[in-house]
Amino acid sequence: MQRFLLKHKNKIALIGGVLIALSFLVRWTIGNMFLFEILMIAASVLGAAPIAIMAFQSLRIKVVSIDVLVTIAVTGAFVIKNYEEAAIVTFLFLFGAYLEQRTLNKTRSAIKELAEMAPESALKLMENGEFEEVDVDEVDIGDVLLVKTGAKVPVDGTVVLGEGSVNEASITGESLPVAKEKGSKVFAGTILDNGTIQIVADRVGEDTTFGRIIELVEEAQDSKSQAERFIDRFSKYYTPFVLVLAFVVGLVTRNVELAITILVLGCPGALVIGVPVSNVAGIGNGARHGVLFKGSEVISDFSRLDTMVFDKTGTLTVGNPSVMEKEYYGENVEEVLSYLASVEKESDHPLAKAVLEHIGEVETFSVENTGVVKGEGIIATVNGRRIAVGNVALMEREKVHLDDRMRADIDRFEKNGNSLVLTAVDEELKVLMGVRDKIRPDVKKDLDSLKRLKVKNLVMLSGDNQGTVDLVAKELRLTEARGNMLPEDKSEYVKDIIDKGQIVAFVGDGVNDSPSLALAHVGIAMGSGTDVAIETSDVVLMNSDFGRLPHALGLSKAITRNMRQNIFIAIGVVIVLLVSVLFSDWMNMSIGMFVHEASILAVILNGMRLLRYRLRR
């Protein structure tokens, strides 16, 4: 019976409303007060039943909830034979709960839309060489799948055959299609706009990027911020306080109706619901715009930050450097380039990739005795020769002689904004290359937006030489820029400015900068939904899109501001209602309950505005 009443409480509210309307119709038309009271009693009993059940369930776990207050108030109204008040209060309470649930469901629309985008089936290559449609849960890592035009990509995978363009809006928030060919990575939940491709499954089920995004958003929406935890503690003590206040007022004034009215009007419903709805709506907005908050706790720190620290390569720059200048010293250049290519093939550093692309196809040799000098470069033996590839510090470590011409070239390369790659063979410098990276498009506008959002300090830390760092900092008008920084230097810098009382966000790639990401109040990863980015940061900017950073900061400020507004509305309404009932004659239980439910609806609608939030340029 309890389950039935709770399941159909919306229908009960509707029936109660009809009974109340009929009772007033009877009273105004035929003037039958007996029938009027019977209809009001029926509406009261029917409406009070699910409320009393919820109150009982709350008391069983030792919580004095709003339902308890309303149940006591309705019971008191029955005792003093105020059936009209009892019926209207129960109807308004149930109707308010219905509106609350309906609007809350709308604020969760972002996660619902994401879940609906999840693919349900896939065309899998079977042993007979044919593709058959199977449930997506039946796909294993290594399976080959066929994706046709207009179909959803069922898993994370790599294209092995065919080409086409994929709409990755569900992952990155970017609606422009992305070209895919053999070797390209594709993500579950994205849509193949045109073409036909075959992919091999790399990650399936909940391990896909799409699955991780859904899980991340769900966890973020379910987590509680500092404000929400405060509201929970406040409500825990506030509700019993209202009970005591009503009892004392009733005892002193001998006015039972007044005491019952205080119980109804003191319900902190808007206060309890106001903060969560702001968080849920805001996190949902972020998910739809390619910004993933890893919980509501981070939003508070993010909204108050005054210093933002950036890694350079892959964050402020596109992360795809190329060789822009070069100088050769001595003879046998082709042989030296072969040695250099052999060593750089052992490295996954972005500069190594740029060097290899510049050298092109050359003969390579086996590499022995490889040693990595952290922050300086690589030392190895190639074809019996000792090869050192790295920066000036490595050359000094290796006691490589640098004459006046070489030092002049190094200074010139650095002034031009290059990162240096020096190659020495048996302690003799043979090759100097200058590698430069391009600044991300529109990054200046995005940094200006951050300044308008009250970020006081924009700092860049980089492992590059100071000359390169200074040129980038000057072009972007940064507050401070430091070069020649190892990962531990970056984390030490972050720790120092935090100790000085600054609220710091660190923006990096989620891999080399993980110590700094972990130390900062807010770690922001520039990563296309990679595992490392999601695990090490507090905020993930999908598709490495720097342009989403101002939206993320503006949204966090809007969420925090929205929370404060809802708290102000909730507390303000309760104070006005209690003062009115104690010191005026016009306030009664029905009017108070109507205002109370209206305040709940007001904070929900205010929170829902965050679903439409966009940063003003």
The model's pLDDT over 386-432, given as tens digits with 9 standing for 90+, comes to 999 999 999 999 999 999 999 999 999 888 878 889 999 999 999 99
Flag whether pLDDT at 169 surpasses 80.
no
Q: Are residues 133 and 223 in the same domain?
A: no
The C-alpha atoms of residue 169 and residue 290 are separated, in whole angstroms, by 8
Q: How far apart are CA 612 and CA 113, in angstroms?
A: 15
Does some domain include residue 101?
A: yes
Long-range contacts of 499-503 (CB under 8 A, 24+ apart): 502/306, 502/307, 502/457, 503/301, 503/304, 503/305, 503/306, 503/307
- Quick one: 77 and 137 in the same domain? no
Is 210 within the bounds of a domain?
no
Q: Are residues 404 and 418 in the same domain?
A: yes
SS (H, E, C) 479-493: CEEECCCCHHHHHHH
**Are residues 422 and 444 part of one domain?**
no
Contact in structure between 367 and 342 (CB atoms under 8 Å)? yes
Give 118-164 as a DSSP string: S--EEEEE-TTS-EEEEEGGG--TT-EEEE-TTPBP-SEEEEEEEEE
The predicted structure's pLDDT at residue 551? 93
**Residue 70, pLDDT above cutoff 80:** no
Residues 499 and 577 reside in one and the same domain: no
- Residue 212 resides in a domain: no
Mean pLDDT, rounded, for 253-258? 81
Residue 79 in domain: yes
Residue 103 and residue 232 share a domain: yes
Same domain, 168 and 249: no
Q: How confident is the model at residue 308 (pLDDT cuts 50, 70, 90)?
A: very high
Last residue in a domain, options 436, 465, 486: 436
Contact 270, 555 (CB under 8 A): no
Q: 77 or 303: whose pLDDT is higher? A: 303
Residue 33 included in any domain: yes
Same domain, 360 and 255: no
The domain tally of the chain equals 4
Q: What is the CATH number of the domain that holds 132?
A: 2.70.150.10
Task: Indicate whether 540 and 411 sit together in one domain.
Answer: no
- Is 176 a domain residue? yes
Please tell me the predicted confidence (pLDDT) of residue 529: 42
Which structural domain, as residue segments, surrounds residue 338? 322-436
444 and 432 in one domain? Answer: no
Q: What is the pLDDT of residues 102-123, one digit of tens each?
A: 655 655 554 555 556 667 889 9
Mean of pLDDT values over 45-53: 86
Give domain status of residue 113, yes or no. no
Residue 555's pLDDT is what? 94
Q: Are residues 371 and 512 in the same domain?
A: no
- 386 and 486 housed in the same domain: no
Give pTM, 2 decimals. 0.65
Write out the catalytic residue numbers. 311
- Specify the CATH number for the domain of residue 304: 3.40.50.1000
Closest listed residue to residue 44, CA positions, set 7, 15, 11: 15
259, 82 Cβ separation under 8 angstroms:
no
pLDDT, mean over the chain: 82
Domain final position from 407, 436, 465: 436
Residue 596 lies in a domain: yes
Q: Are 159 and 170 in contact (CB under 8 A)?
A: no
Q: What is the pLDDT of residue 269?
A: 65
